[in-house]
Amino acid sequence: MDASQTPDVVGKTRVRVRYAETDQMRVVYHANYLVWFEIGRVELMRQLGLEYSEMEAEGCGIAVVEARVRYKLPARYDDELVVETWLAKVRGPIVQFAYRITREPNQVLLCEGETVHIVVGLDMKRRHMPKKYVDLLAAAASDTLA
């Protein structure tokens, strides 16, 4: 599947822009979109039955190894946003998420991006993801090679 396609399982999370997230250009500071991506990612996993805090308590995290963000239009203070998140790829220890952020009420596209992750232990070293989690994620990704 092309990462630009949106698959069936898409998490949708709402975020309202905080004053702390703005900068003196009167728009959201660009690093904050990565924080919203993370919120979308966690909520998608929750929707798939995977509680990230439990997975981490079992000694398994998904560290970010790459992030790409394309900014289209600025988000502003108090905007209501929707973060759409989906699994673009699951390949062994590599998991790739894709994101679209739109502004309500008219679904104006503000931002798109992807993050690539590898599964790590609490020592930040690469490890295998427990099979129950692989199965949950792979079932939701169009491009899977477990």
Active site residues: 23
Rounded CA-CA distance 68/71 in Å is 10
Task: Tell me if 53 contacts a second copy by CB under 8 A.
Answer: yes
- Cα–Cα–Cα angle for 70, 141, 3, rounded to 5 degrees: 30
Query: Minimum distance from CB of 90 to a second copy (Å)?
Result: 19
Structural contact between residues 88 and 68, judged by C-beta atoms closer than 8 angstroms? no
* Per-residue exposure over 79-90, b if at least 16 CB sit within 10 Å of its own CB, e if not: bebbbbbbbbbb
Q: Which of 1, 5, 31, 80 binds a second copy (CB under 8 A)?
A: 31
Pick 46 or 142: Cβ nearer a second copy: 46
Q: Which of 2, 4, 8, 25 binds a second copy (CB under 8 A)?
A: 25
23-31, 87-95, 98-106, 128-136 -> range binding a second copy (CB under 8 A):
23-31
List phi, psi (to 5°) of 12: -125, 120
Q: Which of 78, 80, 130, 132 binds a second copy (CB under 8 A)?
A: 78
Task: Tell me if 109 contacts a second copy by CB under 8 A.
Answer: no
Pick 39 or 48: Cβ nearer a second copy: 39
Among the listed residues 69, 141, 136, the one whose alpha carbon sits nearest the alpha carbon of residue 99: 69
Task: Tell me if 42 contacts a second copy by CB under 8 A.
Answer: yes
Q: Is 21 exposed, middle or buried (0-12, 13-18, 19+ CB in 10 A)?
A: buried
Kindly list the residues in this chain that would bind a second copy in the complex (CB under 8 A): 18-20, 22-27, 29-32, 34-35, 38-39, 42, 51-53, 56, 61, 63-71, 74, 77-78, 122, 124
